[in-house]
A and B are shown apart, each in its own frame.
Chain A
Amino acid sequence: MCLGVPGRVLAVNGLVAIVDFWGVTREVRLELVDQPVAPGDYILNHVGYAIRRIPQDDIQETLALYEQLLESAQDDLMAADVRSEVQATGDQTGGGGRKAGGGTGANG
């Protein structure tokens, strides 16, 4: 419950953002984030809410960190928590599975 997961904002509609998490597209609420969020920004998602807009300088290393986590084995508790975090967002929006460039470099 304590981790957050970074994702790339694809679109913003009022207080709802459509966010890509390594190819999984989810709705994330924006009520809690304390800075304006626009398409192309990265946010830290926690149980369906953006709690932080990740500063430009920190995006690469933040994504690298979580990609290392997600590459871990299926029974890894921390990786499982990250996967749950992605699940924790709103219902999957239409299409799903859209790739947003894949690796860290392409996402930056």
Chain B
Amino acid sequence: MADAHAALTRLQFRDPERAAALVRALHRVTAEVRREPVAIMHVCGSHEQAIARFGLRAVFPRSLDVIMGPGCPVCITDLPEVDEAVALARQGIRLATYADMLKVRGSALSLADVQAEGARIDVVYSITQAVALARKTPSEPLVFFATGFETTAVATAAVILGDPPPNLSVLSAHKYIPPVMAIVSEMPDTRVEGFLAAGHAATITGWGIYEAFVARHRKPVVVAGFEPLDILAGLVRLVELVRDAAPEVANMYPRCVTKEGNLQAQQQLWRVFRPIGGRWRGIAHVPNGNLRLRDEWAGVDARRRFEIDVASLWDTAPPALVQQCICGDIMAGIASPRDCALFGRECLPDSAVGACMVSSEGTCRIWHQYGGHPDLAALPVDPYARRA
């Protein structure tokens, strides 16, 4: 099999013959594990989008569980972080943030709730647009509520290093992916035997960063891109490594990812941020999983510039339905949207109860749009069975 994916360096991304060959290989390799089910986790909303939109779960072996973990940056932003943003907005400070953050609830309220009360919140697509907004109104403070993994954190770092307008400050809820993989591996309920890592996060960090994780936790990691063949090829390699009990890192996305990654971006990331332990929604405490501004950037740190009074929010109770939401278990990889009583009923994209239904990178939203686990047996013809 090693030869087969060596030949895949030039993928035709949706070539049906190659897809069928990879699906056959995946079935063969999974059967060779001789233990079921084989559970692997990916940590990227874009991987889930691709798996769902191309219906890949329908052709995965039944004994292979491909689980989405804490890979939605909007979803894993924790309640207290949302509370801080909500409190700032309620205190009359103007905010800018990504669109998906508006509807994600903190302990009780979302930014959309306080926007309805009259708070001023601008939706931006990037921090550079927040910079432009701040420049237009230099006399008024503007806080950028900065969420996302290392891929967006590097952009925040570049702005902070690049002489931002004095009225702009940053409320950092940035997260760093590698530490959370360790936590998921150590969870008592976890069945995860290997990880499919996100191609674009690895573009920044390089694949070498996963070597320490693999050495310590003895679970293989494969970096994969976002096309169906990228994902299938990545899964074949990953299940091979599980089968061989070979805890290694493999890079199946060489057209984007190097071992070292983007060193210039990494330097800027770590000049601006320091990793601290803290909560992720659904995962609880993640050592070194949160990125906070270093002391030398206190001047642009919204937490230091403003007194944030989150206690004022605690009088508001969360909506009753929130107590039934299982987004936390879904992000930890121990439940699927099908296990949630609210999914597709009370919880819908336009009236989301939990974070996983809000964000375009959330598992529930993706499964609601595409269906998560199509049943190929229910179809009149199984195209892959014919080819096999």
Contact = CB atoms under 8 A, between A and B. Distances in A.
Interface string A60-97: 01101100100000011110110011011111000000
A68 B125 CA distance: 23
Given A61-B255, A81-B360, A84-B125, A46 B155 contact: yes
B155 A47 contact: yes
Contacts of B369: 75, 77
B91 interface: no
Interface stretch (B58-66, B144-152, B280-288, B291-299): B144-152
Contacts of A58: 255-256
Contact of A65 (B13, B44, B46, B129): B13
A29 interface: yes
Interface stretch (B199-207, B308-316, B380-388): B199-207
B366 interface: yes
Interface string A6-50: 000000000100000000000101011110000000001011110
A54 to B, nearest CB: 8
Contact of B200 (A3, A15, A91): A3
B17 to A, nearest CB: 17
Contacts of B203: 4, 44, 51-52
A1 B158 CA distance: 17
A32 B154 contact: yes
Interface stretch (B33-41, B108-116, B262-270, B336-344): B262-270
Nearest to A85: B125
A29 B13 CA distance: 29
A2 interface: yes
Most central of A27, A32, A77, A80 by chain B CB within 10 Å: A77
Interface of B (DSSP majority class): helix
Contacts of B268: 31-32
B30 interface: no
B302 interface: no
B265 A68 contact: no
Interface in B333-368: 360-361, 365-366
Given A4-B203, A51-B204, A90-B128, A34 B265 contact: yes
B16 to A, nearest CB: 14
A25 to B, nearest CB: 15
A73 to B, nearest CB: 10
A1 B148 CA distance: 7
B329 interface: no
B188 interface: no
Interface string B234-246: 0000000000000
A90 to B, nearest CB: 5
B13 A68 contact: yes
B158 A78 contact: no
B125 to A, nearest CB: 4
B56 interface: no
B151 A34 contact: no
B255 A51 contact: no
Contacts of A85: 125
B154 A81 contact: no
Contact of B262 (A33, A62, A75): A33
- In the A-B complex, the 8 residue pairs with the smallest Cβ-Cβ separation, listed nearest first, are A88-B125, A48-B126, A34-B264, A47-B126, A88-B126, A48-B128, A31-B158, A32-B265
